Structure 1
Amino acid sequence: MDSISLAVLKIATDREQKGEIDIIGDQLRLRLHEDKYIRDRRYHLRTYPNCFMAREVVDWLIDRKEAPDRPTAVQLMQKTMEHDIIHHSCDEYKDFKDSRRFYRFRKDDGTSQLDLEMMVFSRGQRLSEKVMNSDNSLLQAREEDGVKYERAFVATEMVTWLIQEQESKNRGDAEQLCRRLLEHAIIQHVSSKHHFVDGPLLYQFRLNFRRRRKIMELLIKRPQTVVESQDSPFCVRKQSHDKSASFNSVSPNSEVKVASAVRRSSMTSSSSSGYFSNSPALGNSPPVVLCNPRSVLKRPVTLDELLAPGAPYIRKTLTVVSDAVGWGFVVRGEKPCHIQAVDPTGPAASAGVKIRHFVVSVNGLNVLHCHFRAVSNLVLTGPRTIVMEVMEEVEP
């Protein structure tokens, strides 16, 4: 068997810490979008798109009990600047001040660097969501060397699944993909003894992308050793009867379920009714994983009302091709489902997808009678290019 070196373990640990920071930053971004703190703003007759005001976010952090006081809130936001998650709207300042300055998330204005490491991380995030949302038995309680592990998968079964899902062309490509995922702390051997090998060994997802992070975690100095995280069922650990170890959605409401993943790490939290994040090559947020806002519909619309003769709706056929992060939209509701949110910088927005569109079909399959979870699964398990028929209300 191919044993894993201490050097690879150390690199993976460092990348895991960076991945956690990226997830915290993206979950913060999605929550600020949900609460409408990120929006187009004007200053001296100039419009700055997708910005937030520093002072308002400091207030928000304190009101949400994410920070105990203003200096700590400023320190947290400074951390996001140091990790290149946010920047000043004009790149004039390199520090975060509790003032009326405008700042942006780099994922909102497309200035984040999509390097190989970020692409692998996004790809791993999408794959973990896809595995969780697919109806298969890939993740199970399994035993290796007399020890049982939760949510473990057999290496050879994962390789086969990647080929079946057209994520890899052949077994060699699938094995290399899994080795990259291990080196980037997305997966690991259950006892951290082996690198990824197309064989009978057991592996687990190391990161729980759906766990709701506290922003204060940015100030926690993480140990440099490879340790087991007891708050994530996707981290390597032995089987436990602790019910608190169940996999939880990022969403605060029990009705919300992740449909895909965070896009541009996701608008993803996305079991949060579904930020669809699929990524080709090495790269998906969805979703993200994100919080599900209240319905954007002006009023409830029944299926009979939608399909009634003379109803004020027109049909449109839209083709959405996922990029390295995903499709960039959220679906919610049932009979019919509707578009809850659209990433303004994503493929869906470019294809013409808008909020309050009702979803008629996905890749030729009528989904008017489906729940959003079924539509989510259809998107996640389908090709990277989706042809979606929608109905748009005609303004009087």
Structure 2
Amino acid sequence: MERTSSVRRAMARQHKGEVMIAGEQLRLRLHDGKLIKDRRYHLRTYPNCFVAQELIDWLVSHKEAPDRATAVCLMQHLMDHDILHHVCDKRSVLKDAKLLYRFRKDDGTFPFNTEVKIFMRGQRLFEHLIGDKNSILQLREEHGVVYQRTFPGCQLIDWLLQNGEAESRRRGLELCRTLQEHGIIQHVAKKHDFFDSGLLYQFCINFRRRRRLSELLDESEQDNEAVAVSTQQDNHPDSPFVLHKSLPQEGSSAFQSVGSSKDLKQVASGRRGSLNSLQPHSAGFPPFVQLSSTSVRCNPKSVLRRHFTCDELLAPGAPFMKKVLTVIGDALAWGFVVRGMAPCYVQAVDPGSPAAAAGVKVRQFVCQVNGQCVLNLDYRTVTRLVMTGPLTVVLEVMEPLE
């Protein structure tokens, strides 16, 4: 009975992860189709927004939903999972009207609780493993049954140690068991917990699979308590959230488009939860970092007193001091937020994080990541470099002389 409850909890967590991925795939497509942009309403500019009515038009015209009512239900499902929200958080229900809504990933208000961070850690490991030329994910046989993309438990722990993802075999085993508890990996026959042995395991979720948001809605209606999502492999029908070559025609709107938005700051308060960065776009998540599970629901501004160019930072006699910092990530991540289009700067640091312990401070400019110069790179690229590198990150930073 206890194991059944554990399995159902893992299935429910897995469903939340599937909703995150499907929502993010939709968000990226809407950005590509220019449906998400800065808009002005009542003399105020709202960055990275969409008009609900325009989005419903788009979903129906692109056959993402059979009718407007279904399209509204799909978006409400994302809203219920904190994927998107009204720009002022005044409405908990999505209306088919000329109202502004925004994806929480676009304004830095996505609630990163422990479950989300673990899910994203699993996604990052999946991306590393699937992209490795000599990947441990292989076709293997156990008890006469052949399974795809499997790995022996001991080999995964070896890989974690070799790539700096775990400090010891004990820590690696703890991480793998946490991933199993949250429905990210499982024994191929679902008979065993995770052991540092030759037993075969595999990822429950193919993070690169194209997803239909409608399938998540159907699953949730069947079982609201604990939802079992599909874990089919690659032979899945094309998703309506795949980027198409043709872009939608934008309808008339009472909102005016404005220029590109300023970088948004990620603010957090309360007790520390280990920081995690979102994955590269190929994984369905944009490069982004969050501090803790308690987010401030706002549109924060940059912490910089003024913008600096790369030339200003490198000019002789510039009022900056260069430092080299080594950040040893914990079980989930590092604990700092970077922003900026070039040069990047530290927007926030979690007080109890590895980054804070290493000396990372707000307003420091990031010059190098693991020996690679990043001054001319934007925060997305810098975050991707950190995420695809080892758990121990060597940063060269420049901080203002006070």
- TM-score, normalising length from structure 1? 0.65
CA contact (8 A) 1:122 1:265 kept: yes
Aligned with 1:85 (options 51, 70, 83): 83
In the superposition, relative to structure 1, how do residues 379 and 9 fare at CA in structure 2: closer, same or farther (>3 Å)? Answer: closer
Aligned counterpart, 1:167:
165
In the superposition, relative to structure 1, how do residues 92 and 324 fare at CA in structure 2: closer, same or farther (>3 Å)? Answer: farther
1:1-396 matches, cutoff 5 A: 5-221=3-219, 229=230, 231-233=232-234, 244=235, 252=243, 265-266=278-279, 268-270=280-282, 347-349=338-340, 352=343, 363-364=370-371, 380-382=388-390, 385=393
In structure 2, what is the Cα distance between the partners aligned to 1:166 and 1:280? 22
Q: Deviations over 1:31-90 (max 9, x none)?
A: 112222222211111111221111111111112210112121112111111222111111
- Contiguous gaps of at least 5 residues in structure 1: 234-243, 255-262, 283-312, 328-344, 355-360, 368-375, 389-396
In the superposition, relative to structure 1, how do residues 83 and 277 fare at CA in structure 2: closer, same or farther (>3 Å)? Answer: closer
CA contact (8 A) 1:175 1:198 kept: yes
Matched to 1:216, the amino acid is: S
Matched to 1:140, the amino acid is: Q
Matched to 1:130, the amino acid is: H
Q: Deviations over 1:268-300 (max 9, x none)?
A: 44168x955799999xxxxxxxxxxxxxxxxxx
CA contact (8 A) 1:40 1:47 kept: yes
Matched to 2:99, the amino acid is: R
TM-aligned CA deviation for residue 226 of structure 1: 8.8
In structure 2, what is the Cα distance between the partners aligned to 1:226 and 1:156? 30
Q: Which has the higher contact order (CA 8 A, sep 6+)?
A: 2
- SS at structure 1 position matched to 2:85: strand
CA contact (8 A) 1:265 1:325 kept: no
- SS at structure 2 position matched to 1:40: strand
In the superposition, relative to structure 1, how do residues 350 and 173 fare at CA in structure 2: closer, same or farther (>3 Å)? Answer: farther
TM-aligned CA deviation for residue 136 of structure 1: 2.3
TM-aligned CA deviation for residue 174 of structure 1: 0.5
In structure 2, what is the Cα distance between the partners aligned to 1:157 and 1:91? 46
TM-aligned CA deviation for residue 385 of structure 1: 3.9
Q: Deviations over 1:215-266 (max 9, x none)?
A: 2223212566897946325xxxxxxxxxx37999x86589xxxxxxxx9755
CA contact (8 A) 2:48 2:102 kept: yes
In structure 1, what is the Cα distance between the partners aligned to 2:49 and 2:229? 37
In the superposition, relative to structure 1, how do residues 32 and 98 fare at CA in structure 2: closer, same or farther (>3 Å)? Answer: same
- SS at structure 1 position matched to 2:40: strand
CA contact (8 A) 2:17 2:119 kept: yes
In the superposition, relative to structure 1, how do residues 178 and 383 fare at CA in structure 2: closer, same or farther (>3 Å)? Answer: closer
In structure 1, what is the Cα distance between the partners aligned to 2:238 and 2:128? 15
In structure 2, what is the Cα distance between the partners aligned to 1:379 and 1:113? 20
- SS at structure 2 position matched to 1:156: helix
- SS at structure 2 position matched to 1:270: helix
Matched to 2:170, the amino acid is: G
- SS at structure 2 position matched to 1:347: strand
- TM-score, normalising length from structure 2? 0.64
Matched to 2:185, the amino acid is: I
Matched to 1:116, the amino acid is: T
Using the aligned pairs only, state the percent identity: 43
CA contact (8 A) 2:27 2:103 kept: yes
In structure 1, what is the Cα distance between the partners aligned to 2:161 and 2:108? 31
CA contact (8 A) 2:209 2:236 kept: no
Q: Aligned residues, how many?
A: 307
TM-aligned CA deviation for residue 5 of structure 1: 2.3
CA contact (8 A) 2:25 2:242 kept: no
In the superposition, relative to structure 1, how do residues 85 and 278 fare at CA in structure 2: closer, same or farther (>3 Å)? Answer: closer
In the superposition, relative to structure 1, how do residues 45 and 265 fare at CA in structure 2: closer, same or farther (>3 Å)? Answer: same
CA contact (8 A) 1:277 1:326 kept: no
TM-aligned CA deviation for residue 326 of structure 1: 8.9
In structure 2, what is the Cα distance between the partners aligned to 1:378 and 1:118? 19
In structure 1, what is the Cα distance between the partners aligned to 2:99 and 2:331? 31
In structure 2, what is the Cα distance between the partners aligned to 1:281 and 1:150? 36
CA contact (8 A) 1:159 1:198 kept: yes
CA contact (8 A) 1:41 1:50 kept: yes
Aligned counterpart, 1:373:
none
Matched to 1:164, the amino acid is: Q
Q: Deviations over 1:290-337 (max 9, x none)?
A: xxxxxxxxxxxxxxxxxxxxxxx979999999999999xxxxxxxxxx
Aligned counterpart, 1:308:
none
In the superposition, relative to structure 1, how do residues 55 and 93 fare at CA in structure 2: closer, same or farther (>3 Å)? Answer: same
